Amino acid sequence: MVNVIVELFKYLMIFIIVMYAYSCFSIFRYRSERKRKATLRRQNIWMYLLHLMAFIILYLETENVTIIAFYLMQVVLFGVTIFLYTHLYPKASRLVVNHMCMLLCIGFIMLTRLNYTKALKQFAIAACAIAFSLVVPVIIRKVKWLAEWGRLYAVAGMIALAVVAVMGRVSYGAKLGFSVGGISIQPSELVKIIFVFFVAASLKASVTLKTVVITTAVAAVHVLILVASKDLGAALIIFVVYLVMLYVATRQPLYILAGLASGSAASVAAYYLFHHVKTRVVVWRDPFTAYDSGGYQVAQSLFAIGTGSWFGMGLFQGSPDSIPVADEDFIFSAISEELGLFFALCLILICVSCYIMFLNIAMQLRNQFYKLVALGLGTCYIFQVFLTIGGVTKFIPSTGVTLPLVSYGGSSLLSSLIMFAIIQGLYILREDEEENIERKKKEREKSIPERRKAGKGKEEKGKQRVRQGDLSVRGSVPVPDGIHRIF
């Protein structure tokens, strides 16, 4: 009987996530605000339905009554989060809030399935982090000198990483963090955000050769410390984020080419110099031959994905426990195995939709600093998603990074939530910019009549120039005008 419910809900959950993923993109088609709002509300209903079905299965399979209480707590957390964001920050992007909750929801489902204790911990961290992240948009909006602290960001980032490199605790062959009073902290997760702020602050105004050289040197130090700590995933992310931000700030393809060339050279060197890099590549090429020398992780991941196939085995019907660190770096495989590849592919689409929303705001901001921040965070997010999913599916060598908001891990969760909150702050900022411009326009229009002829021509020209400068990011995603107002 339970089997039948599991089986039935399995298909229903796939249907729901497909509908949700479809709405992520179909929403851009609607012109009327009413329809968009209806879609956004429907997304919440889809999420709650998915959440409910999953927890019915989780309860039936475990017959653990506390799971019902846990479920209700999550319902409240999602409800409060959505309520607070939409009421405290009516200008925030509702779509990003929805995605954030959906990803958290999938994470809670999978963690409850894999390790109930860890799921409870994750929930506690999420609740605190969300409470904290609610003030982030205010900080972004009110603290005007964020753009002036470039040096501070650089020093803070390097010190945090250096501390880990020297004193860090080794887990899975890499020095990732240290414990303070029983809580393990992974500074590299937060350093990613600080690094984005640093680069944005450095490149916001001048992109002379001198600034580029200094910024590149600081970025290189970050990457080298991370490589020394064997945190290859974070090193790669910092490297790619820097290249993308540098390119957008300077529009100089030569920098990208030079960066890619030196990156490739460094990778080859790393392959021959570091044993653990070589192992990853060997495992990637054939995890089965190298099964006993590190390949078992990727091999088990591929078994999980392959056995789950399109529709998955159903919650509690597979054996994701056989994949090492299934609750962190390999959570995508666990999801594929039990919820199916259709579900997993939709999850990818939701992540891509988040990225598009990150870039959407980057395109619309006029302030170069904030624009670069949005772009940097967007790249950081999507590249991390790419590394983790590509790694567990053997598309690329595995680098050991988490799936943001879904994987277990306090530091990862906190930094992802802060990242999303910063983006919300930028959406609000954008609205202020818009209002300022509107207001100035009106003021000018009032005083125009006397010098209408000359003034108007000038204004048109000026506007066009701004637009062209904006092209640095604009033009890549087709987003209808004014869309930021609704989400």
Partner 1 sequence: MTYLFVGLFLFLMGYIVYFNVVKSKEIINSPYNPRLDSMADRVVRGTITDRAGNVLAQTHTGDDGTESRYYPYANLYAHVVGYSDQGKAGLESSENFELLTSNAFFPEKLKKEFKDEKNIGDTVVTTLDTGLQQAAYQALGANNGAVVIMEPGTGKILAMVSKPDYDPNTVSQNWEWLSGDANSSLLNRATQGQYAPGSVMKLVTTLEYMREAGDVSGYLYNCTGEITHDGTTIPCANHSAHGQVDLAASFAFSCNSSFCNIGLSLNVNKYRETAKELLFDSRLPSELPYSRSRFRLKSSDSSADKMMTAMGQGETLVSPYHMALITCAVANGGVLMEPYLVDRITNYTGTTVRQHKPQKYAQLMSSSEAMQIKEYMKDAVEYGTASVLSGQGYSAAGKTGTAEYGSKEGLNHSWFIGFYNPDNPELVISAVVEETDGGTKAVNVAKAVFDSYYGSMWE
Interaction site with partner 1 (CB under 8 A): 1, 3-4, 7, 244, 247-248, 288, 291, 296, 299-300, 302-307, 309-310, 318-319, 322, 341, 344-345, 348, 352, 355-356, 359, 375, 379, 382-383, 386, 389-390, 393-395, 473, 476-477
**What is the smallest separation between the CB atom of 247 and partner 1, expressed in angstroms?**
7
Distances (CA, A) of 71 to 84, 265, 387: 20, 50, 31
The values of phi and psi at residue 440, to 5°, are: -60, -40
**What is the smallest separation between the CB atom of 30 and partner 1, expressed in angstroms?**
21
C-beta of residue 196 within 8 angstroms of C-beta of residue 369: no
**What is the smallest separation between the CB atom of 263 and partner 1, expressed in angstroms?**
15
Q: Which is nearer to partner 1, 159 or 471 (by Cβ)?
A: 471
Separation of alpha carbons 51 and 47, rounded Å: 6
Q: Which is nearer to partner 1, 306 or 462 (by Cβ)?
A: 306
Separation of alpha carbons 377 and 183, rounded Å: 26
**What is the smallest separation between the CB atom of 430 and partner 1, expressed in angstroms?**
18
Q: Which is nearer to partner 1, 132 or 310 (by Cβ)?
A: 310
Q: Which is nearer to partner 1, 20 or 89 (by Cβ)?
A: 20
| Angle, CA of 123, 124 and 125, to the nearest 5° | 90
Distances (CA, A) of 124 to 134, 251, 413: 16, 43, 11
Pairing label, strands 169-171, 174-180: antiparallel
C-beta of residue 323 within 8 angstroms of C-beta of residue 297: yes
**What is the smallest separation between the CB atom of 124 and partner 1, expressed in angstroms?**
32
**What is the smallest separation between the CB atom of 132 and partner 1, expressed in angstroms?**
29
Q: Which is nearer to partner 1, 251 or 456 (by Cβ)?
A: 251
Q: How many CB atoms lie within 10 A of CB 258?
A: 14
Q: Residues with Cβ < 8 Å from 382, sequence gap 6 or more?
A: 351, 352, 354, 355, 358
Q: Which is nearer to partner 1, 308 or 400 (by Cβ)?
A: 308
Q: Which is nearer to partner 1, 109 or 392 (by Cβ)?
A: 392
Element (H, E) at 179: strand 174-180
Separation of alpha carbons 422 and 96, rounded Å: 11
Closest residue by Cα to residue 105 from 123, 88, 132: 123
**What is the smallest separation between the CB atom of 438 and partner 1, expressed in angstroms?**
28
**What is the smallest separation between the CB atom of 12 and partner 1, expressed in angstroms?**
15
